Structure 1
Amino acid sequence: MTTSSYGDRPWLALYREGQPTDIDPEFDNLLAMVDDAVRRAPHQDAIRYFDGRMSLAELDAAADALAAALQQRGFAAGDRLALFSQNHPAFVIGMLAAWKAGGVAVSVNPMYKQRELRHLLQDSGARVLLCLDEVHEVAADVLAGAGHEVEIVISSAGRDFQTRDDPRVLPDRDPAALPGAVGLTDLLARHAGQRPAPVRAAHPDDPAFLVYTSGTTGEPKGACLSHANLVFNARSYREWMELSPPDAILAIAPLFHITGLVGHGVLSLLVPAPLVLGHRFNAEVMVDLIREHRPVFTVGAITAFTAMVGGPGVGPDDFASLTKVYSGGAPIPPSVADKVESVLGAYVHNAYGLTETSSITHLVPPQRRAPVDPESGALSIGVPIASVRARIVDGAGDEVPLGEVGELAIAGPQVAEGYWGRPDATAASFPGGELRTGDVGFMDSDGWFYLVDRLKDVIIASGYKVWPREVEDVLYSHPAVREAAVVGVPDEYRGETVHAFVSLQPDAVVTEAALVAHCRERMAAYKYPRAIAFVDELPKTASGKILRRELRGGRA
């Protein structure tokens, strides 16, 4: 039964009838999961990339060929293969090939520059780098230097595996050369029909993926996610959403991010269901893909949905197939959720998870709407999914009473064992195997969980705590506001003061004084922003999460 140390909780009544409260592992490892999918539906689409199609059997054969090629070049069990790629078939092929050769996949954000890529390659000890041609320049600079273990470099063109180019997301310039690289399509052709040499079957606790979590406090760390972690949470998605093979999955989130990796990539192989890829997020491209492929399920940051529904000529009919829609990666202000639903035609359910938890730990049940906490105005992140143990703790790790604010701590089958090569960081973040999330929130008497903010983002103004989320939610309630982010800035008198950054809806006009007054009327005097800067776009991660830390250093 889904429990926390609070005991049996009312949230069990929020599950739909028949929803399991515990999930037993269905497969011992990810390759057993993939083999089962290929056996059941070899001719079903595994990937749809623009006009390109790849069946499960074709995907499996391509991964076999690449795995065989890697082994012949010295790749051994336990070695790491880094994937420097957008949402492209090469990412999925490389991921499967790493597992088939007994190795570990490593995701790399394709927006990384030289310093960031160099750190990741050094930290992971990757022996193989598979990258798209559009990042050749960055990769070439890093590979020309010392300090990394990369021995095999594979390049794939963004236009591979498709029959139609889309200049909205694909570069229209010739890529720079990447010395020493072998082309992926050439490699697959050369080794077509080959299978990798047998390796020891992966143990459930063996690492399958290193996913680097943001370096908000120091350098990024690689969360070491096991076969069991990823299989469990893919199955959690499938059971919760009640997905079946005809239900195409739209990859809004990037595959290199934990939401896209598990909630799109691994999930599609488990169901199995077609995975619709569009290279990288572009609102117009995504809407076109929905119109063409009629996907049923997706999960992504609320900023992505806001961008899609804000396009010209877009209406509920365009999104009619998307009946199962979830948002993760960033909290949803209630007013934004309402605006998106009015165009999307479907309610966007909240989801919560982290890189260290292999994506989801909390979801809003399919037949429910997330409640809004009357005091903080926060929209609930949902209830714990099957087998999750969630609690709210104080600084000493002791549980706080229901309704009181503290840090969210999580344990369960999807929680990583720790960070790659970082025993001290692992001990600090995973005491007793329980993840301390750094997220501040509370649980109400009905079992709903709410987040207030990040511990590191709290603003101390004149001795009072101000949670940026609360101020942002008030700003979002103004009809002119498209996006908002709030940070604390130094203040000689108050210690810190509240500073907001806002982008406006198209053609909207509002003054700084009007927005300040809007907030002052709706919150305590120490909370409302003393200054508001208007910007065209707020800085975001690739998954759509607004980067407050970048705003702190560049305030107007």
Structure 2
Amino acid sequence: MSVHLAIARAAQQSGHVAAVRGYGFERNWAETGDRVARLASGLLSAGLSRGDRLALLAGNSAEHMELTYAAIWAGIIVVPINTRLSTPEMCQILGDCQARGIAFDNLHSGAGQAVAAELGLPVVMGLDQVEASVKFDELLTREARPPVDAGGKDLLGLYYTGGTTGRPKGVELSHAAFELTAMDQAYALECTGRSAYLHAAPYFHLADCSVGNSITYVQGTHVFSDDTSSAGILDAIRNLGVNFLSIVPTMYQDLIQLAAGDPILEQIENAVYGAAPISEGLLKQVLAAFPNARFKQCYGQTEVAGACVVLPPEAHVPGGSKLATAGKPTLSAHVRIVDADGHEAPRGVAGEIMVAGDRVMNGYWGQPEKTAETVVDGWLHTGDVGVMDEDGYVAVVDRLKDMIVTGGENVFCAEVENTLSVHPDVAAVSVVGVPDDRWGEAVHAFVVVAEGRVPEPADLIAHTKAQIAGYKCPKGISFITELPLSGVGKVRKDALRAQWISMNKDSSDV
């Protein structure tokens, strides 16, 4: 059963249940299913055909989700666009996939119109009151149509990744990949029909979209707010009945500070996080502040349509042996750790994380050579270094590309970061490899200082030397006010390396 059939089933089985909710509106699944079917008919009447690529450039909204579902319903390939990209970057992506149309909301109409004009796109539509040749409300006037007969390995969407360096890669995700991920996460994340899920992360990312699909499969409620800041999330919990969150660890910390003991956080029953593990110190805080929440950590990639490893609630115990892991593979994902020769590594030995199953991407759009390098005999090379323990739990150690080779020794950044993170002077830390004439690369730490503290670099380095081997310890420390983050909350190590190089950080080394 593909996503479009899950929508039809939700309308049939839970027609009276709230499907979407926000400030000033609420629609049930019967209404939402009808709107999706009408929008699908409207898309086809606007000049799009099955197999065409439709770019979606918008913030989080019920209309954004409905139009995404409508495209899938009609057999049109969705191409979600990161709203943070520049106009040239967007043009590169739409040109690469030969998009036939673009839809955008009011906030992104300037960029959307510019891209449409640059590429001469024949179908240009607005999601709200936007001046465009095709208007959202007009699409809704069409007569509802049945969903297309699509499923399995048929292409559902192109999710572009890796655009910061080199040519962006369009990840080809199938109906089967979306379906399996939705059902996997519905089970592992304990989604139910009473879940009221706030779309807090960007919907153009699978971190949010894939959890949303799980909510659709269980016929729960999607909640949308224009304000996805920590303050906006707290307001949505208070005013929109939110009981399910999926955000990065630092945002849970922000919510605790903002709530300041307000019992409203007791309303959260399901608390998911990803992009980074949760520290033991923060875990103690969130368990106290969210007493009714069951916490889960997710690990995954765009190339497997979302989370493929989940750490269950019972592992979220301060001092627990599994807390440092990302969890166990989900039901439809086969995971193994391999050495440099492609052989499965013994338990407890680091190697590359590989994933197999029908959730693995069809390939990279128009890049057969890159596809062949990445998917070998059905196994996806994730590019992540991991360790599997005797119980099958997977710990993500580092990115292969972020592993530091210094004096012929391999250093995993995460190990150094974990060592520094427990120092009371450190609020946040990221470790990178920087050029070094003698060692090839040197270990360098970027540290955000804890409030009220004034650390000395030598003290922090001495702290690491008491915990880990000398070659793993930072050769230098740089103090910064905040770590640069990507759209999904991951630290931009490439930006930190570039910052070190541009500022000639040799002067700050000790």
* TM-score > 0.5, shorter chain as reference: yes
Paired residue secondary structure (1:536): coil
C-alpha separation between the residues in 1 aligned to 2:338 and 2:353? 6
User: How far off its partner does 1:63 sit?
Assistant: 2.4
The answer for the alignment partner of 1:285 in structure 2 is: 232
Which AA in structure 2 matches 1:30?
Answer: V
The answer for the alignment partner of 1:163 in structure 2 is: none
Paired residue secondary structure (2:314): coil
Deviations 1:350-371 (A, max 9, x none): 2211111111211123333379
Taking the TM superposition and a 5 Å limit, the aligned residue runs for 1:350-429 are: 350-369=297-316, 379-429=324-374
Paired residue secondary structure (1:500): strand
User: How far off its partner does 1:139 sit?
Assistant: 2.5
C-alpha separation between the residues in 1 aligned to 2:24 and 2:460? 46
Paired residue secondary structure (2:363): coil
The answer for the alignment partner of 2:20 in structure 1 is: 47
The answer for the alignment partner of 1:553 in structure 2 is: 498
Indicate conservation of the 8 Å contact 2:87/2:111, yes or no.
yes
Choose the corresponding residue for 1:267, options 187, 202, 214.
Answer: 214
Indicate conservation of the 8 Å contact 1:62/1:192, yes or no.
no
Runs of 4 or more above 6 Å deviation:
370-374
Choose the corresponding residue for 1:314, options 232, 252, 260.
Answer: 260
RMSD, matched Cα: 2.4
Paired residue secondary structure (1:144): helix
Indicate conservation of the 8 Å contact 1:254/1:280, yes or no.
no
Higher helix share: 2
The answer for the alignment partner of 2:141 in structure 1 is: 192
C-alpha separation between the residues in 2 aligned to 1:184 and 1:308? 35
Q: TM-score, normalised by structure 2?
A: 0.91
User: How far off its partner does 1:117 sit?
Assistant: 0.7
Q: 1:491 to 1:316 in 2, by over 3 A?
A: farther
The answer for the alignment partner of 1:300 in structure 2 is: 247
The answer for the alignment partner of 1:64 in structure 2 is: 37
Choose the corresponding residue for 1:151, options 122, 132, 140.
Answer: 122
Deviations 1:24-54 (A, max 9, x none): xxx2x22111100011122322112233222
User: How far off its partner does 1:280 sit?
Assistant: 5.5
Q: 1:103 to 1:139 in 2, by over 3 A?
A: same
C-alpha separation between the residues in 2 aligned to 1:491 and 1:344? 46
C-alpha separation between the residues in 1 aligned to 2:331 and 2:498? 41
Indicate conservation of the 8 Å contact 2:448/2:479, yes or no.
yes
Q: 1:350 to 1:192 in 2, by over 3 A?
A: same
C-alpha separation between the residues in 1 aligned to 2:260 and 2:426? 20
The answer on 1:252 being equivalent to 2:200 is: yes
The answer on 1:475 being equivalent to 2:424 is: no
C-alpha separation between the residues in 2 aligned to 1:208 and 1:371? 41
The answer for the alignment partner of 1:220 in structure 2 is: 168
Q: 1:460 to 1:537 in 2, by over 3 A?
A: same
Indicate conservation of the 8 Å contact 1:209/1:225, yes or no.
yes
User: How far off its partner does 1:547 sit?
Assistant: 0.9
Which consecutive unaligned segments of at least 5 residues does structure 2 have?
504-510
C-alpha separation between the residues in 1 aligned to 2:318 and 2:440? 34
Q: Which moved more, 1:519-528 or 1:419-428?
A: 519-528
User: How far off its partner does 1:251 sit?
Assistant: 1.9
C-alpha separation between the residues in 2 aligned to 1:327 and 1:106? 25
Q: TM-score, normalised by structure 1?
A: 0.84
C-alpha separation between the residues in 2 aligned to 1:464 and 1:339? 37
The answer on 1:211 being equivalent to 2:159 is: yes
Indicate conservation of the 8 Å contact 2:184/2:332, yes or no.
no
Indicate conservation of the 8 Å contact 1:350/1:380, yes or no.
no
C-alpha separation between the residues in 2 aligned to 1:132 and 1:503? 36
Q: 1:366 to 1:333 in 2, by over 3 A?
A: closer
The answer for the alignment partner of 1:323 in structure 2 is: 269
C-alpha separation between the residues in 2 aligned to 1:491 and 1:517? 21
User: How far off its partner does 1:507 sit?
Assistant: 4.5
Which AA in structure 2 matches 1:195?
Answer: A
Q: 1:335 to 1:281 in 2, by over 3 A?
A: same
User: How far off its partner does 1:272 sit?
Assistant: 0.8
Deviations 1:88-126 (A, max 9, x none): 122112111212222111111111111221111112222
C-alpha separation between the residues in 1 aligned to 2:387 and 2:320? 10
The answer for the alignment partner of 2:104 in structure 1 is: 131
Paired residue secondary structure (1:546): coil
C-alpha separation between the residues in 1 aligned to 2:41 and 2:311? 43
Q: 1:142 to 1:442 in 2, by over 3 A?
A: same
Q: 1:502 to 1:246 in 2, by over 3 A?
A: same
C-alpha separation between the residues in 1 aligned to 2:200 and 2:469? 38
C-alpha separation between the residues in 1 aligned to 2:299 and 2:355? 12
User: How far off its partner does 1:131 sit?
Assistant: 0.9
Which consecutive unaligned segments of at least 5 residues does structure 1 have?
1-26, 161-176
The answer on 1:518 being equivalent to 2:466 is: no
The answer on 1:234 being equivalent to 2:182 is: yes
Indicate conservation of the 8 Å contact 2:55/2:78, yes or no.
yes
**Larger RCO of the pair (alpha carbons < 8 Å, separation 6+):** 1
Indicate conservation of the 8 Å contact 1:252/1:260, yes or no.
yes
C-alpha separation between the residues in 2 aligned to 1:79 and 1:130? 13
The answer for the alignment partner of 1:202 in structure 2 is: 150
Indicate conservation of the 8 Å contact 2:245/2:270, yes or no.
yes
The sequence identity of aligned pairs, in percent, is: 32
Q: 1:304 to 1:527 in 2, by over 3 A?
A: same
C-alpha separation between the residues in 1 aligned to 2:185 and 2:397? 25
Indicate conservation of the 8 Å contact 1:46/1:56, yes or no.
yes
